[in-house]
Amino acid sequence: MFYKLYYKFQHWRLHKKAGGTPLQALYEQPFINSFQLFTSTRFLVLDCEMSGLDVKSCQLLSLGWVMIEHGRIVNVSARHQLIHADRGAGESSRIHGLLDSSLAGATSAASVLMLLIKQMQGAVLVFHHAPLDIRFLQKAVIENFRCPLLFSYIDTMDIEKRRIHLQGKTMGLRLSQCRDRYGLISIQQHNALADAQATAELLLAQASYLDKEHKLKLSDLSIRCSR
Amino acid sequence: MVSEAGDVQSFLVQHPPFNQLSENQLEFASANIYVAFSKPGNELQLNKSTLDGPKTGMLIVRSGSLEIRDQQGVLIDRLSSGDYLVPGVLYSNTRNIPRIVVLEDCLYYELGDKAFQSLTATSSEMAAICETDKTHTVYSDDTGDDGSYQADDEVERKDVYPGQYVKDTMSSVIIFAAPDTSIREAAQLMREHHISSLLVKDKAQLVGIVTDRDFRIRVLADGVPDSDAIRTVMTPDPMCIEVDSLLQDAQLKMMAEGIRHLPVLDDQQPVGIISQTDILRENNIEPISLIHSISRTNSIDELSTVAGKIPDLVVKLVARDTRAIEVGKIITTLSDGITKRLLSLATEEFGTPPCDYAWLAFGSQARQEQALGSDQDNGLLLPDSISAEDAGYFKDFTGYVNNGLDQCGMPYCPGGIMAKNEKWRMSLQGWKSCFSHWIEEPSPKALMHASIFFDMRLITGNTELVLELQAFVLEKARSNTIFLAMMCDNALLHSPPLGFFKTFVLETDGDHNHTLNLKKRGTIPIVDIARNYALSVGLPALNSTDRLYAIKQAGAMSGEMSYSLIDAHEFIAGLRLDAQGKQYSAGLKTDNHLDPKELSPLLRHQLKDAFNVVREAQAAKKARFGGGVL
């Protein structure tokens, strides 16, 4: 219920600033009600790869996303976008395998973000561990368009945390650990797209377990508003 | 954007039928894939298009498993990673729409119906999966040609084991002909008895021998008319060998003289014949020496020690690539030997039986198809004239033998079909009325237990009693179509474990999760088919392979079908033996279960084809004998 209040507040606070920028359409789209059914919602599952964990010194390297419609992952909607970096990929290139040479051919942050904003229309975003990704995303958007994004999102790590908490247990919450519990096989490679797809599968699994008679609502998935 | 095949596409490309698609077709397929997840217990409704989503043309399991059952709850198929189903085909029978239920957390791909349709239009591999019951027979190479495999074995078997005797290896079935018999008659006689040589006897005197080779060299090659007397072409005064000679002497003699057959004499009278083939076949050192040890034992304990060596022997035979049919015969020969020895030990223990008797083996022992740990099925046939007092003698007698068999690795029959049960110790009249009851008033349940009685073989005792009973049963069964139809119905309960889309349906009961029961699902259906046909034509053959040959000879089954079945039988029996050998070597209890994951893809494919042959034969059988009682 704070979700709606906060969304309205953010909208009121920022919509003038968004006017005339590529973000305008986002601010003009209708509010997504938390009573909306899971199966009739369009989701954009997003994963970001960064050059490090510190927002101030590090930056986005790539984005991967895939859509969920009617409770099904739409394979053809999968995208993997590399972002042209001002600085080299740095320490995290060892983790993501993104080398400077492959980043060199990448698109500029602005055009990747504009593609993303287009896809976000009418969709609820999905992250696994949202706060970090959102912080980097907002920083990049503000740098490029001088205004933050406004969107609704759910966090599969949050969903899992609540589920485990209800069972009175403590368990690992990393993506692969969560997937294990739903019998989802571990993914071979780690990049933004593979992780977005893995997160999407995890969400379907969580929804399947939370669902009763196709009545699962967004409020059951603790939908929130971006900050 | 980075070009990426993506997880979906790289999964598809590894699995049929997608691995047959061109790169463009594959990309198209993967662009039309929708990924979904369902938890255990959920039912998938693929016939309704989900909400506004696209209709599903095909479903591919990514992880987890699904189960398809019909409305009555009968398992149709079980799908796991890489398996697929086509709703259009599955739901084509509108009267009995199957239910698809999730067994384990299941992530699956849905291929949109429109995309599926256009793929089937452009790819024959995709089109083929809509015809689920495609038939193919792959076995035809090594059918019924014993020559090649014996040749292979010659290499290993050439060294003769000292201490083997001619009398144990010779064939004691000898057929005599008079010197004036025509060549044609002689040849017919040999065909009738499946023998390759004929002894020529003038009055009581052995005067010559004719063999297959003589017909070739002295008759055909010289253009001798077949109406001539065999006297003119036989080998007069043939070389002979004494019954007590060593086997190696017989072999040396044959090699020295360049001949292939030796009549065996006991006190100047021919009692058998031994051929090079006999020596080659029987030079399977261990079985022979085991039989010897068996015949020399003097107590059940000694006997069970000897019997304990049988599994080792089987492992060796399997390692040597002996055909499964041969291994079955060797195991049965040993079981027969053990039974015979036990019977004579019992005679020593309880005194000479007061009257004639016939010890009958049923089921696999009768068919000479025993495997390791096959349980015993036997009964006792007694003359009609037997008194109640005499009948009492056999109580302890049979108990002794059954117990002995159990100690020798042939466990008690769980169904109690053993001579120690009074129920299965009957007079000829008793057995006749028992069989009459099964044949004339068949009930499905009774028949399920009775079918093994129709495989019956004499182990020791009065031959005439058995011959009379066999003739009676064959005649009765052949003329009773209702009985045959019932038996057929019953046999169809054991279906081969192939799913709707030619995937294995695995057992889920007890300890044997995710395995195939090769005996129940593979061997038994073939044995049933062979028995069913054999009874319908009145054939006395017992061994399933022999039966199938004879059925084909009698014109009751097409040659293709019978050969395919023989090969499928051999193949499945081979896998079963192989698995048992491995279990035994690993110190596990032997059973009939096999995890298909342990098979190579090629073997898996062949096994599927073998099961498919069985399924076809079952369908043909059903058509022939009718489904149920009129």
In a domain, residue B30? The reply is yes
> Within an 8 Å CB–CB cutoff, is residue A82 touching chain B?
yes
**Residue numbers in A near B37 (CB within 8 A):** 182, 201, 204-205, 207-208
Name B561's Cβ contacts closer than 8 Å, sequence gap at least 6.
B616, B617, B620
Closest to A107 in 3D by CA, of A88, A89, A81: A81
What's residue B216's pLDDT? 82
Chain B: closest CA distance from residue A183 (Å): 6
By CB atoms closer than 10 A (0-12, 13-18, 19+), residue B450 is: buried
> Within an 8 Å CB–CB cutoff, is residue A187 touching chain B?
yes
Task: Tell me the CA distances in angstroms from A156 to A160, A163, B400, one per residue in order.
Answer: 6, 11, 71
Residue type, A108: S
Q: Two tokens at A218?
A: 């967004």
d(CA B586, CA B511): 18
Partner residue opposite B39 with nearest CB, options A40, A80, A209? A209
| A 122-161 residues with CB < 8 A to B | none
Task: Tell me the CA distances in angstroms from A68 to A38, A46, B169, B517, one per residue in order.
Answer: 10, 11, 76, 42
Alpha helix segments (H runs only) across B554-588: 559-585
B439 touches B483 (CB < 8 A): yes
Would you identify the CATH topology of the domain A40-225? Answer: Nucleotidyltransferase; domain 5 (3.30.420)
A109 touches A135 (CB < 8 A): no
d(CA B522, CA B526): 7
Residue of higher predicted confidence among A169 and B206:
B206
| Residue in A closest to B103 by C-alpha | A183
> Within an 8 Å CB–CB cutoff, is residue A197 touching chain B?
yes
What does chain A come to in residues? 227
Range of the domain at B383: 291-476
Q: Which residue has the tokens 């239009």?
A: B121
Chain B: closest CA distance from residue A60 (Å): 15
Residues B23 and B41 in one domain: yes
* pLDDT(A111) > 80: yes
Helix axes B601-625, B524-537, angle to 10 degrees: 30
Residue of higher predicted confidence among B278 and B195:
B195
What's residue A98's pLDDT? 56
| Cβ contact, residue pair A81, B2, below 8 Å | yes
Residues B173 and B307 in one domain: no
Buried/exposed code over B45-78 (b: 16+ C-beta within 10 A; e: otherwise): ebeeebeebbbbbbbbbbbbbbbbeeeeeeebbb
Residues B214 and B257 in one domain: yes
**Mean predicted lDDT score pLDDT of chain B:** 80
**Residue numbers in B near A79 (CB within 8 A):** 1
In a domain, residue B146? The reply is no
Task: Tell me the CA distances in angstroms from B572 to A130, B119, B495, B588, B592, one per residue in order.
Answer: 56, 36, 14, 21, 11
What's residue A137's pLDDT? 93
Residues B469 and B499 in one domain: no
In a domain, residue B148? The reply is no
CA angle, residues A131, A133, A138, in degrees to nearest 5: 90
Chain A: closest CA distance from residue B35 (Å): 5
Domain boundary among B282, B300, B334: B282
In a domain, residue B67? The reply is yes
Name B509's Cβ contacts closer than 8 Å, sequence gap at least 6.
none
Residues B458 and B516 in one domain: no
| Cβ contact, residue pair B39, A74, below 8 Å | no
Kind of pairing between the strands at B241-242 and B235-236: unpaired
| Cβ contact, residue pair B105, A183, below 8 Å | yes
Chain B: closest CA distance from residue A214 (Å): 11
Tally of CB atoms within 10 A around B429: 11
**Residue numbers in A near B33 (CB within 8 A):** 75-76
Q: What are phi and psi of B3, to 5 degrees?
A: -80, 130
- For the beta sheet containing B378-382, the strands, ordered from the edge strand earlier in sequence to the opposite edge, are B425-427, B378-382, B358-362, B456-461
Radius of gyration (C-alpha) of chain A in whole angstroms: 17
Tell me the per-residue pLDDT of A112-164, one tens digit each, with 9 for 90 and over: 999 999 999 999 999 999 999 999 999 999 988 889 999 999 999 999 999 88
d(CA A45, CA A78): 9
* pLDDT(B112) > 90: no
Which CATH number goes with the domain that contains B472?
3.30.460.10
Task: Tell me the CA distances in angstroms from A99 to A65, A103, A195, one per residue in order.
Answer: 20, 6, 18
Q: Chain B interface residues facing chain A, Cβ-Cβ under 8 Å?
A: 1-2, 4, 6-8, 30-39, 42, 50-53, 62-64, 104-107, 109-110
Give the distance, in angstroms, between the CA of residue A170 and the centroid of all CA atoms in the same chain: 25
In a domain, residue B142? The reply is no
* pLDDT(B506) > 70: no
Which CATH number goes with the domain that contains B61?
2.60.120.10
Domain boundary among B418, B453, B476: B476
By CB atoms closer than 10 A (0-12, 13-18, 19+), residue B362 is: buried
d(CA A226, CA A139): 13
* pLDDT(B503) > 90: no
Residues B266 and B319 in one domain: no
> How does DSSP assign B351-375, residue by residue?
-S-SS--EEEEEHHHHHT---TTPP
Tell me the per-residue pLDDT of B175-206, one tens digit each, with 9 for 90 and over: 888 898 898 888 888 888 878 888 998 888 88
Domain boundary among B476, B499, B529: B476
Closest to B30 in 3D by CA, of B53, B49, B4, B48: B4
Which of A42, A67, A73, A189 best probes binding to B when mutated, by most B CB atoms within 10 angstroms? A73
Beta strands in B203-283, from DSSP E residues, in sequence order: 205-211, 235-236, 241-242, 261-266, 269-275
Residues B380 and B466 in one domain: yes
Which pLDDT band holds residue B247 (cuts at 50, 70, 90)? confident
What is the average per-residue pLDDT within B279-306?
A: 75
Q: Two tokens at B586?
A: 């690993």
By CB atoms closer than 10 A (0-12, 13-18, 19+), residue B170 is: buried
Chain B: closest CA distance from residue A47 (Å): 15
Residues B406 and B495 in one domain: no
Coil vs helix vs strand at B68: strand
Residues B434 and B317 in one domain: yes
- Give A63's strand partners: A48, A81
| Residue in A closest to B6 by C-alpha | A194
Tell me the per-residue pLDDT of B465-499, one tens digit each, with 9 for 90 and over: 899 999 998 888 888 888 888 888 777 777 777 76
Tell me the per-residue pLDDT of B55-85, one tens digit each, with 9 for 90 and over: 788 899 998 888 888 777 777 777 888 888 8
| Cβ contact, residue pair A184, B104, below 8 Å | no
* pLDDT(B285) > 60: no
B477 touches B436 (CB < 8 A): no
Chain B: closest CA distance from residue A220 (Å): 18
Q: What total of structural domains would you count in chain B?
A: 4
Closest to B397 in 3D by CA, of B351, B329, B452, B465: B351
Residues B396 and B366 in one domain: yes
B160 touches B248 (CB < 8 A): yes
* pLDDT(B394) > 60: yes
CA angle, residues B504, B510, B516, in degrees to nearest 5: 20
Q: Two tokens at B227?
A: 């109406």
What's residue A212's pLDDT? 79
What's residue B138's pLDDT? 27
Partner residue opposite A76 with nearest CB, options B31, B37, B105? B31
d(CA B374, CA B365): 8
d(CA B25, CA B27): 5
d(CA B1, CA A125): 20
Residue type, A78: A
| Cβ contact, residue pair B35, A200, below 8 Å | yes
Domain boundaries, chain A: 40-225
Q: Note the ipTM here.
A: 0.88
Q: Two tokens at A36?
A: 């909306």
Q: Two tokens at B419?
A: 């001579």
In a domain, residue B365? The reply is yes
B210 touches B231 (CB < 8 A): no
Q: Two tokens at B3?
A: 């070009």
Tell me the per-residue pLDDT of B20-55, one tens digit each, with 9 for 90 and over: 888 888 889 998 899 999 988 888 887 665 555 567
Which CATH number goes with the domain that contains B590?
1.20.120
Which CATH number goes with the domain that contains B274?
3.10.580.10
Chain A: closest CA distance from residue B379 (Å): 54
> Within an 8 Å CB–CB cutoff, is residue A182 touching chain B?
yes
In angstroms, how far is the first alpha carbon of chain A from the final one? 16
CA angle, residues B29, B35, B41, in degrees to nearest 5: 130
